[in-house]
Structure 1
Amino acid sequence: MEQLLEAAPNAAAPAAVAAPSGPQRITFHATGGEYFRIWIVNLLLTIVTLGIYSAWAKVRRNQYFYSSTELAGSSFEYHGNPVAILKGRILAGLLVGAYALTAHSSPLLALLALLVLGGISPWFIWKSLQFRLHNTSYRGIRFRFAGDTHDAYINFMVRPWLSGVTAGLAVPFVHQRATAWTHGSARYGNARFSFDAEVSDFYKLYGWFVLIGGGGFALLVWLIMSGAPPADGAEARAAEAGFVVLAGYAWFFLVYPLFKQLTQNLVWNHTSLAGHRFQSDMRWGRMVFITITNYLAVICTLGLFLPLARVRTLRYRLESIALLPDGSLDDVLAGAQEEIGATGEGASDFFDFDLSM
């Protein structure tokens, strides 16, 4: 589900709370107006400081969103350190800068720099997962990520090669294994998350997406071509091709929310925490409506609707998830927490990795 102060209450579980009596749906209390004020200040300060404030902006945004996310009467908290995030971004910037410089001076050095970037990217992802979960807490108990670097390289370097050599046929397998690792390695205190979706479930997911997306686009092109008069001349053929491309973009904006909906439902309907199961009931039609109206509003307001669009999307995605409790949530005890560095978090933002749960 893109998008929840340094001292962390991590020594003991909070006082007992009565066991929930039924499904506990997530509620999201953020409003577009409140987030707009945070967003505009973050944007202006980031511009004035030439990007330096972006780390503080991220912390302010996450603290607002996390504190606005409530489950079973309690909200989440975000504890990220902006200075640590900034250090990670600086390191990522130096690495990319080194590649950009070598690209102009020596193709061989540029290739070497690119290989280095690719070689350390799984490590950045691993550190990012550690940092994000470690700096998220619920009822005074922190989350953590127990996966190791070996599995990070298997899931984000070795297996992705299968997608290339199989012409994309292995994509569902790679997706399932990476999701099983990230969810299965997450912890809430001492409690383990688990993920029980099979590879076949992901092939069904992608099969439906390809069938509806590809088949629908092919039908759309056929209708356009059959309904249009025969193209006469290069300009007419170019105009016809352009119309097909525009139709393809329009179809993508309709079908992509379907993939998001199917993916969220598949992942969270197969995720559990120490016997407590999750349930997601996102609907494609609602997601399409939110997506299209968000795009139209952003265009009509020259981008000023962006923060409100984000709140609308987050609210629907989060409030589609419910927890099905199996006893009291307070049976989960906080485990010992180790301090996790933020290098991976800053770098993952720089490279646009968003793998947090």
Structure 2
Amino acid sequence: MEVIPNLNPEKKQFNYFGKGSEFAIIYFKNILLTIFTLGIYYPWAKVEILKYYYQSTELDNSRFSFTGTGKEVFKGFVKVYAILIFLFIFLTYTIQSKSQTLVVVGFSLFYLFVLLVIPFAIHGAARYRASRSAWKGIHFKYLGNRMELFWKCLGGFLLTIFTLGIYTSWFTVDIRKYIISHLRFGNLSFDFKGKGETLFWINLKFILLLYPTLGIYTLWYQKNLWNFYAKNTEITQNGRKIDFNFTMKAGDVFELYAVNFLLIVFTLGIATPWVIMRTFKFIFRFLYIEEGLDTESIQQVSYDDYDDASGDDFLDFLDFDFI
């Protein structure tokens, strides 16, 4: 039966239903089990937290889901740390050799390896996270090319170094644009239309105004940054462009930061799970999709059953968030 598209669907509001009390049990249990198992439990802890984040997020009366498993993340975890242990053994050997030349070569090779592997990690993480993210049983899919992203990242790294960091904003936008433009959700495609010069001015104003305003400008900077990323992301459905929107003001950012700070300080960090839940709820309260998206006509086109979480684990090690 053919689905007749709704030609005038309303705005789609995100809702977040995570509760601090529920998340606190997961959060502290995972910390204890990770410590007691000397880190081995970490993959299962990560998956449990991701599942909670996803299933607490709702769009159009349906919750998102994360279908990854601890076993998948553990396999990637073992691969990543086996390589890193080998590299650290090599570094230890070069240091103990007391040869200045060997030490320089060792550290150079280590950092070169990390630099060169980051594009592959981003590609793998994007593909794994997309294949394991679903809504209404429909999975996301990442169609980027590993080597294409590698050369794009390498060029960006070099330009950033040669421009003494000035190119960072253009590099950030370029990578985000590549990843988002290669994302699919059923028969929907995505794009990022932000420009490097816009992000550059956002960052430059922050640098120039941070100290003169005694840090107060941070509120406007965070608001501008969230607006930039949200409002420049768009969905394409049947040739129609649909924008995301984000309506948070600087005063809202102040409320978020001030209350979170007080909760953390006066509970000596115990309120961290409640702060995390509060932050998600706060952000989703201001995020929505503009008119035009017909969720009823979204259909699964193809499914990428990708179970290698190595890239995701490597970015975790670097504390690097590619989204």
Task: Please confirm whether the aligned pair reaches a TM-score higher than 0.5, indicating the same fold.
Answer: yes
Identify which of 321, 330, 339 aligns with 2:296. Answer: 330
Counterparts of residues 1-357 of structure 1 (less than 5 Å):
21-106=9-94, 107=103, 108-213=105-210, 217-218=211-212, 220=214, 251=215, 254-274=216-236, 275-340=241-306, 341-356=308-323
- Please give the alpha-carbon distance, in whole angstroms, between the structure 2 residues aligned to 1:95 and 1:25: 43
Structure 2 residue runs of 5 or longer lacking an equivalent are 95-102
> Residues 350 and 19 from structure 1, CA distance in 2 versus in 1: closer, same or farther, beyond 3 angstroms?
farther
1:91-150 deviation per Cα after TM superposition (whole angstroms, max 9, x unaligned): 222222223222222113343233223221210111001111111101111011111113
CA distance, structure 2, for counterparts of residue 86 and residue 353 of structure 1: 18
Q: 1:72–1:16: structure 2 CA closer, same or farther, 3 Å change rule? A: farther
- SS of alignment partner, residue 222 of structure 2: helix
TM-superposed deviation, 1:27: 0.7
Query: Residue 47 of structure 1: SS of its match in structure 2?
Result: helix
The 3 A distance-change label for structure 1 pair 283 and 171 is: same
Q: Alpha-carbon deviation of 1:18?
A: 6.9
TM-score normalised per structure 2: 0.87
> Which residue number in structure 1 is paired with residue 99 of structure 2?
none
User: How many residues are aligned here?
Assistant: 308
> Could you list the runs of 5+ residues in structure 1 that have no partner in the other structure?
1-12, 221-250
Letter in 2 for 1:74: S
**What whole-Å deviation, never above 9, does each CA across 1:44-79 have from its counterpart, x for those lacking one?**
111111111111111111111111111111111111
Give the Cα–Cα distance (whole angstroms) in 2 for the partners of residues 126 and 301 of structure 1: 39
1:4 alignment counterpart: none
Based on CA coordinates, which of the two structures has the bigger radius of gyration?
A: 1
* Pair 1:36–1:174, CA change in 2 (3 A): same
Distance across 1 between alignment mates of 2:67 and 2:257: 30
Q: Secondary structure at the match of 1:194?
A: strand
Contact persistence 2:9–2:294 (CA under 8 A) = no
Q: Deviations over 1:269-324 (max 9, x none)?
A: 12111133211112222223322332332232222111111111111122221011
Mean CA deviation greater in 203-212 or 81-90: 203-212
Give the root-mean-square deviation of aligned CA atoms.
2.3
Range 93-102 or range 170-179, more displaced: 93-102
Deviation of 1:257 after TM superposition, in Å, equals: 4.7
Shift of 1:339: 1.8
Identity percentage of aligned residues: 22
